[in-house]
A = this chain, B = another copy of it.
């Protein structure tokens, strides 16, 4: 296969042409990251991903994890790969150099991570939370906590978990019952059970640092009574030496549809009354602290979705060019009757590839745009502009997780369809990708939860200023496109989508606050996520097209010109061929019936 995991040419287009990530090095903080360095970093990650991680992905799927004698065992091959990830400092490359990180811009780290996630999502998921955990400890930890944990986590010597979910507390964190009682010496004794804990136990590292959401004795009910704790799997003395095992243990692992190489653990905390942890941040303010980690986790899931989609697309593209099947009786190329036609020449197969390519490129741009906003929010001097970048990130996170993974699942589904019967067998990687990617719409907040975050929180924060910031930038792109003859019809069509979205927002936000309207809003939140995501996707694709048209003027190379024309085709396909469906969905939000709310209980529920 000519390309693996990610189309390098398109990644370069996004990094250096659409978003000019190399210009971040104009800021002191990122001054090491000029174009050459970025290219080197991405190249190293790609090599590691393709050569070392990718061959272990199917092994992980087939062998899976085992739970034996109270311990979780991963395939042996994973150990060696984890070592390489740690040695190459790939676990938290954007961490502060003071703690052993490389201070890499997030956008550059994302390029590296996309390759690694696409090569073996199950394995990198185990290290996927290291970044977020380090971030939380750095932001909320005591000097001692930082000293004890940060370097070890950033270096990959120790792994981490995020322990939130309980059997009765999934999307609803207010129901968490894990209890923390003060021991009197500043530590807490923790008791409870957690489920669905990624990497709750494994044999990759000597220690696992668990970040546990629990309720201090006598704390208020609900989510405002939750605190966050650091609970090391193995106790650590003041000098960082490992001591006795802590009283936290895996009691079983889930059998799952996919992601077989990633252990999803049920955990028992304090079954012997002796699980000791320390408070991270303030009492009862655990949720806010956890959420700063959660945002990272959500973008990680977006990256996983993107990597799966991107791989699936490249596999399908490759297969479609090599599988000979069928003829077109009246095809333009006349000679097709010879019966030697690759299936990519069938318009329906090409249509599927076009959706896959357009979605993959669009979500790639969405994720890199978010990462670039995160970078800019850290370095631009003007505080107001910094805040605006943070606002953009906040608004776009539910899209970068929810909308992106919905599209990613769709891309992997189309890959199966292009492979036909072969796609349903385990012979090609698309079967595993289809099963693996399916979890991305569920974990770290289901996409339904993302849609509520977007509609009920992000849209109304600061009187709607977040949405306005996005629209302002969208309109800048429309203006640039409108100035280009080749794109003016797309600019006009997209403007219609945007103005219709504004109408949807106007209508939804001006509904009087009544219980009935609250239900109404919640019944359209997923549709709202879809149409807002579509508009953001169209924006990214039009931005790509504008970039491409500008670059076309500077090139005479046929290959290059074709590639740039491809950017315009994808924007055109999305806006003109898929856009009408988006408009239809907006019309449904605006004028749809309330049948969902009005159906009698007796007609829906069991009798």
The one of B425, B439, B452 in contact with A424, judged by C-beta atoms closer than 8 angstroms, is: B439
A182 close to chain B: CB less than 8 A? no
A592 close to chain B: CB less than 8 A? yes
In the complex the two chains form, is B519's CB within 8 Å of A596's CB? Answer: no
A579 and B593 CA atoms in complex are apart in Å by 11
Chain A, 332-348, contact with B by CB distance < 8 Å: what is the 0/1 string? 10100001000010111
In the complex the two chains form, is A591's CB within 8 Å of B602's CB? Answer: no
A562 close to chain B: CB less than 8 A? yes
The one of B350, B420, B566, B593 in contact with A577, judged by C-beta atoms closer than 8 angstroms, is: B593
A576 close to chain B: CB less than 8 A? yes
In the complex the two chains form, is A603's CB within 8 Å of B562's CB? Answer: yes
Smallest Cβ-Cβ distance to A422: which chain B residue: B170
In the complex the two chains form, is A606's CB within 8 Å of B318's CB? Answer: yes
A443 and B573 CA atoms in complex are apart in Å by 29
Smallest Cβ-Cβ distance to A606: which chain B residue: B2
A431 and B442 CA atoms in complex are apart in Å by 13
A380 close to chain B: CB less than 8 A? no
A3 close to chain B: CB less than 8 A? yes
CB proximity to B under 8 Å, residues A398-454: 409, 413, 416-417, 420-421, 423-427, 431, 434-435, 438-439, 441-443, 446-448, 451-452
How many chain copies? Answer: 2
Smallest Cβ-Cβ distance to A592: which chain B residue: B577
In the complex the two chains form, is B171's CB within 8 Å of A326's CB? Answer: yes
Q: Chain B residues with Cβ under 8 A from A357's Cβ?
A: 604
Chain A, 554-565, contact with B by CB distance < 8 Å: what is the 0/1 string? 000011001101
In the complex the two chains form, is A566's CB within 8 Å of B604's CB? Answer: yes
CB proximity to B under 8 Å, residues A29-74: none
Q: Chain B residues with Cβ under 8 A from A558's Cβ?
A: 602
Q: Chain B residues with Cβ under 8 A from A513's Cβ?
A: 330
9-residue interface stretch from A112-120, A301-309, A474-482, A582-590: A582-590
The one of B318, B348, B514, B595 in contact with A570, judged by C-beta atoms closer than 8 angstroms, is: B595
Given contacts A421-B170, A424-B439, A576-B593, is CB(A317)–CB(B351) below 8 Å? no
Q: Chain B residues with Cβ under 8 A from A607's Cβ?
A: 2, 9, 559
In the complex the two chains form, is B451's CB within 8 Å of A518's CB? Answer: no
CB proximity to B under 8 Å, residues A13-39: none
A566 and B175 CA atoms in complex are apart in Å by 33
In the complex the two chains form, is A420's CB within 8 Å of B256's CB? Answer: no
A276 close to chain B: CB less than 8 A? no
In the complex the two chains form, is B588's CB within 8 Å of A523's CB? Answer: no
In the complex the two chains form, is A331's CB within 8 Å of B519's CB? Answer: yes
Smallest Cβ-Cβ distance to A9: which chain B residue: B607
Q: Chain B residues with Cβ under 8 A from A514's Cβ?
A: 330
A421 and B413 CA atoms in complex are apart in Å by 20
In the complex the two chains form, is B522's CB within 8 Å of A348's CB? Answer: yes
A490 and B57 CA atoms in complex are apart in Å by 51
In the complex the two chains form, is A580's CB within 8 Å of B570's CB? Answer: no
The distance from the CB of A378 to the nearest CB of chain B, in whole angstroms, is 33
Smallest Cβ-Cβ distance to A8: which chain B residue: B607
A511 close to chain B: CB less than 8 A? no
The one of B255, B426, B441 in contact with A417, judged by C-beta atoms closer than 8 angstroms, is: B441
A354 close to chain B: CB less than 8 A? yes
CB proximity to B under 8 Å, residues A177-206: 195-196
In the complex the two chains form, is B562's CB within 8 Å of A600's CB? Answer: yes
Smallest Cβ-Cβ distance to A334: which chain B residue: B515
Given contacts A431-B257, A581-B584, A584-B583, is CB(A347)–CB(B600) below 8 Å? no
The one of B327, B515, B580, B595 in contact with A330, judged by C-beta atoms closer than 8 angstroms, is: B515
A462 close to chain B: CB less than 8 A? no
In the complex the two chains form, is B255's CB within 8 Å of A328's CB? Answer: no
The distance from the CB of A432 to the nearest CB of chain B, in whole angstroms, is 9
A246 close to chain B: CB less than 8 A? no
A254 and B350 CA atoms in complex are apart in Å by 27
Q: Chain B residues with Cβ under 8 A from A326's Cβ?
A: 171-172
A499 and B579 CA atoms in complex are apart in Å by 21
The distance from the CB of A146 to the nearest CB of chain B, in whole angstroms, is 32
Select the residue from A170, A425, A516, A580 with max chain B CB neighbours within 10 A: A580
Given contacts A196-B421, A576-B595, is CB(A602)–CB(B168) below 8 Å? no
In the complex the two chains form, is B580's CB within 8 Å of A587's CB? Answer: yes
In the complex the two chains form, is B523's CB within 8 Å of A350's CB? Answer: yes
In the complex the two chains form, is B602's CB within 8 Å of A332's CB? Answer: no
Q: Chain B residues with Cβ under 8 A from A604's Cβ?
A: 317, 344, 350, 353-354, 357, 566
The distance from the CB of A457 to the nearest CB of chain B, in whole angstroms, is 12
Per CB-CB distance, the 3 closest pairs between chain A and chain B, nearest first, are A566-B603, A584-B584, A562-B602
Q: A416-B442, A577-B588, A581-B581 given. 8 additional CB < 8 A pairs?
A: A170-B325, A255-B425, A330-B514, A330-B515, A434-B438, A558-B602, A582-B584, A583-B587
- Provide 6 A-B residue pairs closer than 8 Å at the C-beta atoms, listed in order of the A residue: A175-B339, A256-B425, A416-B438, A559-B607, A562-B602, A569-B603
